[in-house]
């Protein structure tokens, strides 16, 4: 068995992979592959309907919000969000907590006055900056809920007197969420929802149609709402597998159960990092991610040895991002506790031999 700790494209539930594999070969309802069917077919229309419905059930999304399945990843939302909802001359607040928020800030500056109201760049993003209690003068506050590279995560979302726009690419469906706090939630599928190729956008409908700039048809949220995420040919397979993954979450107790599951895995791994004489966390305790656990060696000379031990024990995707170094264990919803325990056992064994 291979233990997959890659940050993305990331681990998927085995039963989802099995169902998706069958569907690539043959959809019993039609005698065709999921790769061959028309996006206008009744089968895929039902897939799109169920994908939206299960998303709404999992996150308790009201009819005030549209649920879209788009393309372009979270990176496309860095400009689509301000393009659609930030009127010229108005200001939006952004928090810089890593690579993805930095890119979001860069793109948003083309559409309005972007004010960086907090940053943890001074410490290589190993913490989350404090947020002012009143940001009501801004159109919205943009956050990245979980930082895959640096391993930080907001455990609670702030009330700051203005709506939130949030990139949740790597922790969507990992815990309960009060959607009413947000104007826009967006998430690339490939880290905790499905395969690469589709992007979930949950958007409050009443905020649209209020900017005076020209919005290209393909970049206008209202276009995609009107056409049910099918203005152009949608990414059929990624949406289908994302639907299967969301159904898997629902069958296994929903996001409340995922929260318990993820906390158990994170606690097990962080406890070992803190106990083990060879390792240390890359992030201080209040800010630690329950999705992407980043950790370092106290003695870098052990790097090759530990990576070799992981390889020998069928652990893949454990090497940290070049911005942080060390190691990164991505423990998304689909990761089993037994795989985290396996990593912990390898860490203990490595300490016994090298400590």
Q: Which residues are catalytic?
A: 100, 167, 191
Burial annotation 325-339 (CB, 10 A radius, 16+ → b, else e): bbbbbbbbbbbbeeb
Distance between CA atoms of residues 130 and 286, nearest Å: 12
**Beta carbons within 8 Å of 252's beta carbon, 6+ residues apart:** 258, 261
Distance between CA atoms of residues 203 and 41, nearest Å: 26
C-alpha closest to that of 149 among 308, 291, 270: 291
**Packing angle between helix 337-354 and helix 303-312, nearest 10 degrees?**
130
Q: CB 109: neighbour CB atoms within 10 A?
A: 14
**Packing angle between helix 236-251 and helix 14-25, nearest 10 degrees?**
140
Q: Hey, is 93 helix, strand or coil? A: strand
Q: CB 315: neighbour CB atoms within 10 A?
A: 21
Token pair listed for 284: 């201080």
Distance between CA atoms of residues 216 and 74, nearest Å: 18
Phi, psi of 263 (to 5 degrees): -65, -35
């Amino acid at each position: 068995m291979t233990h997959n700790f890659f940050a993305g494209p990331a681990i998927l539930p085995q039963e989802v992979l099995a169902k998706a594999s069958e569907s690539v070969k043959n959809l019993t309802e039609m005698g065709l592959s999921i790769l061959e069917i028309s996006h206008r077919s009744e089968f895929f229309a039902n897939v799109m309907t169920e994908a939206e419905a299960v998303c709404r059930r999992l996150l308790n999304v009201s009819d005030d919000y549209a649920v879209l399945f788009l393309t372009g990843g979270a990176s496309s939302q860095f400009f689509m969000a301000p393009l659609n909802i930030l009127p010229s001359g108005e200001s939006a607040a952004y928090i810089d907590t890593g690579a993805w928020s930095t890119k979001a800030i860069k793109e948003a500056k083309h559409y309005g006055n972007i004010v960086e109201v907090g940053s943890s760049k001074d410490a290589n993003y190993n913490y989350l900056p404090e947020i002012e209690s009143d940001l009501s003068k801004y159109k919205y506050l943009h956050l990245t809920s979980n930082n895959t590279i640096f391993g930080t995560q907001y455990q609670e979302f702030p009330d700051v007197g203005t709506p939130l726009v949030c990139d949740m690419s790597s922790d969507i469906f990992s815990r309960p969420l009060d959607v009413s706090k947000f104007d826009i939630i967006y998430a690339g599928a490939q880290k905790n929802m499905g395969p690469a190729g589709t992007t979930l956008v949950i958007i409050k409908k009443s905020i649209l149609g209020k900017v005076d700039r020209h919005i290209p048809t393909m970049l206008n949220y209202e276009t995609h709402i009107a056409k049910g995420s099918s203005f152009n040919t949608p990414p059929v397979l990624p949406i289908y597998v994302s639907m299967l993954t969301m159904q898997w979450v629902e069958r296994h107790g929903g996001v409340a159960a995922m929260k318990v599951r993820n906390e158990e895995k994170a606690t097990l791994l962080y406890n070992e990092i803190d106990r083990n004489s060879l390792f240390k966390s890359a992030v201080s305790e209040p800010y630690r991610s329950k999705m992407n656990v980043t950790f370092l060696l106290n003695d870098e000379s052990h790097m090759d040895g530990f990576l070799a031990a992981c390889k020998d024990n069928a652990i893949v995707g454990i090497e940290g991002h070049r911005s942080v170094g060390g190691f990164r264990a991505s423990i998304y919803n689909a990761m089993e506790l037994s795989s985290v325990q396996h990593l912990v056992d390898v860490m203990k064994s490595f300490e016994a031999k090298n400590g």
